Amino acid sequence: MSTSIFSCYEVHFMVRTRTIKEAAAYFREGDPQTCLTETAIRTLLRSGAVPSAKVGKKYLVAVEALEAYLMGEIEPPAQILSSQSSQPKVWQIR
């Protein structure tokens, strides 16, 4: 009787975590004409639309999370939707 050394452990998938720069390069490699730039990814992360972790000065994001957002599987947070539908800010000089 043969048993695997992994039989008593759960199998976990590796998450492809990247910095913003690396994530942009990953998507650019797949599609050179992509609109998913470093600035676009940074905006998604800072707004909370895509989950991320900030380590030191860098944001880390899972490529799977960005792909899920692009496929519409992750809904933008309610605060982002409400701010887009509200009136634009009007600056007043006093």
Per the confidence metrics, is the pTM higher than 0.75? no
Residue 94, pLDDT score:
67
Per DSSP, 12 falls in state: -
Whether the per-residue pLDDT at 4 is higher than 50: the answer is: no
CB atoms within 10 A of CB 29: 9
Residue type (1 letter), 55 = V
Q: What is the pLDDT of residues 20-78, one digit of tens each?
A: 999 999 999 999 998 899 999 999 998 889 999 989 989 999 999 999 998 888 776 66
Q: Which of 93, 27, 79 is nearest to 49 (CA)?
A: 79
Terminal-residue alpha carbon distance, the chain: 84
